[in-house]
Amino acid sequence: MTIAATDTSPKTELTDVLIIGAGPSGALAASLLHQQGHKVLVLEKQYFPRFSIGESLLPCCMQFIEEAGMLDAVNNAGFQYKNGAAFNSQGRYITFDFTEKYTPGPGTTFQVQRGKFDKLLADTAQSQGVEIRYGQEVIDVDLSAKPLVQVKSDQGRKYQIQAKYILDASGFGRVLPKLLDLERPSNLASRCAIFTHIRDNINDGRFDRNKILISVHPDHKDVWYWLIPFSDGTSSIGVVAEPHLLEHLSGTLEEQLLTITRQEPYLEKILQHAEIIQTVNKLQGYSANVTRLATDKFALLGNAGEFLDPVFSSGVTIAMQSASMAAKSLHRQLQGQKVDWQAEYAKPLSQGVDTFRTYVEAWYDTRFQDVIFYENPNPKIKEMICSILAGYAWDNNNPFVIESQRRLDMVVNLCK
């Protein structure tokens, strides 16, 4: 009797689109492509809910959430309403009301615990019919023919997926940049963030929970803090600085965060009764870039492509913008149309990212801080800058978008 040999070759599955990562960009892209009738499979290494920073959304995000059919779910989730940003430095307190912006579109949004928010988006995509598999790690990719991906589950099972296209929405995991050797250094200085969640116990009646608060260190203007209030009386608190500016801090990460937060007078005052309720974390060297954002076989979404800096909360906005743009281009390609991914995706996406970069760089060299805290701003100019801070960095009708560097330099000179 002949005994057949056991087939140990990995199983190969077929899909139209394979998305790596179920965070905001992955969930939105999956929803948009599923709506167009494409077979989409999302692989996520972790299980949701899971912690992530990037908790203060920008109003621009709301149009992408609506586009994906997720607006009702987000509106009804009980997140903290957000209508702007507040900046605090050496006793000066300036606000930007996002409803008073130059660009049409939503002027309000939410501040969200990302564990709950990301799970809500992923669950909503699943309810629409998208397949999401958790505990699945992409360990290799072959682009020599049709994209072929090797996957390993957290149970140790290995299998293959052949897709017509891959979207990398893996965020800081940066799966394809690592596997395809696409990573290149960011032109931004290496910085680190120390952060946690607190029960803030703020009883200052002047404190506005509807805005993110960005505070500047009294002695080092390139050191700043975020305070993001949530609807349940908790907040996200963090400090960002170049590593050498934190080297003098001793003790645990919790002790270091408390020490440097108390150095800012307003934060020390309003957080005098705060209680840390989560392990303090540290993230260093987070700014990243790549040699290529997309080809006819893959595209990088959000942080998988480029991450700038958390100072203006641009991360989730860039993620959602990239998901929307990539889904539109990919739909056309899957229909048999020719897509120039450099001209139709990478270049226009990078234009908005570069607009944000202009303001990030000017924040750290303090020129933009001088603009923010200028006592008598021109109302029209403030509206245009407010649009960018609200996430509308792709509005080519805004002169501060289309000529971001020149226009900002002009305002800096005026403020002098």
What is the model's pLDDT at position 9?
55
What is the model's pLDDT at position 194?
97
For the stretch 262-298, pLDDT in tens is 999 999 999 999 999 999 999 987 777 899 999 999 9
- For residues 256 and 249, what is the distance between their CA atoms, to the nearest angstrom? 6
Residues of the chain with pLDDT under 50: 1-8
Name residues whose C-beta falls within 8 Å of residue 24's C-beta, 6 or more positions apart in sequence. Answer: 117, 118, 121, 302, 316, 319, 320, 323
Helical ranges in 105-207 per DSSP H: 114-127, 175-179
For the stretch 93-106, pLDDT in tens is 999 999 999 999 99
Residue 307: name the closest of 177, 159, 150 by CA: 177
Q: pTM for the complete prediction?
A: 0.94
What is the model's pLDDT at position 8?
47
CA 242 to chain centre: 20
Give bridge partners of residue 93 from the DSSP assignment.
Answer: 88
- With residues binned 3-state (H G I as helix, E B as strand, rest as coil), the percentages for the chain, rounded to 5, are 35, 25, 40
What is the model's pLDDT at position 108?
98
- For residues 101 and 85, what is the distance between their CA atoms, to the nearest angstrom? 12
For the stretch 227-270, pLDDT in tens is 999 999 999 999 999 999 998 899 999 999 999 999 999 999 99
- For residues 15 and 33, what is the distance between their CA atoms, to the nearest angstrom? 12
What is the model's pLDDT at position 11?
75
